[in-house]
């Protein structure tokens, strides 16, 4: 009796495996159609007002390049691991000649380490280029408070503004701080983010290639009004910026 129940259980189990195999085959066929069709839509997501992959300044371009390099490295690692996985199923005779030590040393050290070293070195070099070196000719203060941003142009009659004005083609140091909790200052198309911490001044250097309107956000969850803590950024020609803010241009 027990043998009969076991046989019935195994039959049902194999049926489930058969159904799974058929579904996997159909999904694979469908993916060959959907993936090429969806590619343009996916690539369209790489652009936009808050896209880091649609840079509008040299520092943002640096970050976008680093992202693509990291993406290429991850793809290379994925292909290596997938290739080894496929060999384990398709070349069992070859697999049987491989010792565990060879798998550990070759697959775990020799293959991934050169890629990881290259990616780490690239990240360090390109990340170093983002640091502000020397004094920028223009300095603007950014104050964060729940749930808004205030921008101050020191030693000018411009006063405070809810809009960040920048000169196009000029590096600008943004000195960031906060009045209550930790926020994060980020203009994705112009550069990286930096924390706004109460009682502390953090500096990020940005530059816009061309005049235009960009958008910045708070990238640190700061409470119920976080989702509305965004701000416009207007890049102007040098003369227009000087007239608007009263700042002297180099």
CATH 2.70.98.20 fits 138-245, yes or no: no
Give the residue among 233, 199, 237, 201 at the shortest CA–CA distance from 216: 233
Mean pLDDT score of the chain? 81
Q: Indicate the domain borders of the chain.
A: 49-131, 138-245
Q: Is 37 exposed, middle or buried (0-12, 13-18, 19+ CB in 10 A)?
A: exposed
pLDDT range class, residue 136, cuts 50, 70, 90: low
148-152 and 160-161 strand pairing: antiparallel
Whether 191 and 157 have beta carbons less than 8 Å apart is answered as no
- pLDDT at position 45: 53
Is residue 96 predicted with pLDDT exceeding 60? yes
Q: What is the model's pLDDT at position 26? A: 57
Most confident of the following: 56-70, 78-92, 174-188:
174-188
Asked whether the beta carbons of 130 and 212 are under 8 A apart, the reply is: no
- For residue range 29-58, what is the model confidence (pLDDT) as tens digits? 554 455 454 444 444 456 677 888 999 999
- Please state, in angstroms and rounded to a whole number, the distance separating the CA atoms of residues 124 and 16: 50
Q: Which structure tokens are listed for 76?
A: 């290379």
Which H or E run includes 217?
Answer: strand 212-218
Distance CA 234, CA 41 (A): 29
pLDDT at 237 over 90: yes
Q: Is residue 149 classed exposed, middle or buried when 0-12, 13-18 and 19+ CB atoms within 10 A define those classes?
A: buried
Task: Supply the pLDDT for residue 41.
Answer: 46
- How far apart CA 231 and CA 162 sit, in angstroms, is 7
Residue 61: its pLDDT value, please?
92
Alpha-carbon span 14 to 8, nearest angstrom? 10
Q: How far apart are CA 146 and CA 182, in angstroms?
A: 10
**Helix/strand number for the chain, H first, E second:** 6, 10
Rounded to 5°, the CA angle 170-46-140 comes to 25
User: What is residue 163's predicted lDDT score, i.e. its pLDDT?
Assistant: 95
Please write the tens of the pLDDT for every residue from 110-135: 877 888 888 888 888 887 777 777 76
Q: Which range (37-41, 155-159, 167-171) has the least confidence?
A: 37-41
Q: Say what the pTM is.
A: 0.72
Q: Which ranges in the chain belong to alpha helices (H)?
A: 2-44, 58-90, 92-96, 100-102, 112-128, 238-245
pLDDT of residue 30: 57
pLDDT band at 15 (very low <50, low <70, confident <90, very high): low
- 10 Å Cβ neighbour count for 216? 24
Predicted local distance difference test score (pLDDT) of residue 40: 47
pLDDT tens for each residue of 180-221: 999 999 999 999 899 999 999 999 999 999 999 999 999 999
């Amino acid at each position: 009796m027990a043998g009969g129940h076991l046989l019935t259980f195994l039959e049902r189990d194999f049926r489930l495996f058969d159904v799974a195999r058929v579904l996997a085959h159909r999904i694979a066929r469908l993916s060959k159609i959907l993936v090429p069709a969806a590619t343009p839509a996916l690539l369209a997501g790489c652009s936009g007002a808050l896209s880091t992959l649609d840079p509008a300044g040299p520092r943002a371009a640096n970050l976008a390049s680093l992202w693509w390099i990291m993406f290429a490295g991850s793809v290379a690692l994925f292909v290596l691991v997938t290739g080894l996985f496929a060999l384990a199923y398709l070349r069992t005779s070859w697999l049987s000649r491989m010792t565990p030590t060879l798998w550990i040393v070759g697959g775990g050290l020799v293959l991934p380490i050169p890629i990881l070293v290259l990616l780490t070195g690239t990240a360090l070099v390109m990340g170093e280029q983002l640091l502000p070196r020397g004094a920028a000719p223009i300095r603007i203060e950014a104050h964060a408070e729940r749930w808004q941003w205030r921008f101050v142009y020191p030693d000018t009659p411009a006063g405070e503004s809810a809009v960040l004005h920048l000169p196009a083609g000029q590096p600008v140091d943004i000195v960031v701080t906060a009045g209550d909790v930790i926020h994060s200052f980020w203009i994705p198309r112009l550069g990286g983010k930096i924390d706004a911490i109460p009682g502390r001044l953090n500096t990020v250097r940005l530059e816009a290639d061309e005049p235009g309107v960009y958008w910045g956000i708070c990238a640190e969850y700061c409470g119920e009004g976080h989702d509305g803590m965004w701000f416009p950024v207007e890049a102007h020609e040098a003369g227009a910026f000087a007239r608007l803010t009263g700042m002297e241009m180099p």
